[in-house]
């Protein structure tokens, strides 16, 4: 049953791509691969959606911080990062 092993490995690599995707670290080719897989694979899609939720929550925290400190002038980033 090597084909099953191949499939499992494909899902595993998609999960890694998913984590990179929400961190904004994918190349266009990797994005294409991820999207193509998610279109057909509900279980990886739910993994990706969960990663997205986590990333959004993290961004909301960072976003609030930089908005409060920066007030749109960009210097807040440095102030926030100390």
Binding site for Zn ion (CB under 5 A): 11, 41, 44
CA distance 64 to 18: 25
Q: How far is the CB of 7 from Zn ion (least distance, A)?
A: 8
Please report which residue ranges of the chain form alpha helices under DSSP H: 2-22, 28-40, 42-70, 76-81
Q: How far is the CB of 49 from Zn ion (least distance, A)?
A: 13
Nearer to Zn ion, 11 or 35 (CB): 11
Nearer to Zn ion, 46 or 67 (CB): 46
């Amino acid at each position: 049953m090597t084909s099953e092993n191949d499939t499992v490995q494909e899902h595993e690599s998609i999960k890694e791509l998913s984590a990179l995707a929400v961190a904004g670290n994918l190349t266009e080719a990797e994005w294409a691969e991820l999207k193509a897989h998610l279109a057909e694979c509900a279980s990886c899609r739910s993994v990706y959606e969960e990663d997205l939720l986590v990333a959004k929550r993290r961004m909301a925290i960072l976003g609030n911080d930089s908005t409060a400190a920066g007030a749109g002038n960009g210097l807040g980033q440095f102030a926030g990062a100390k």
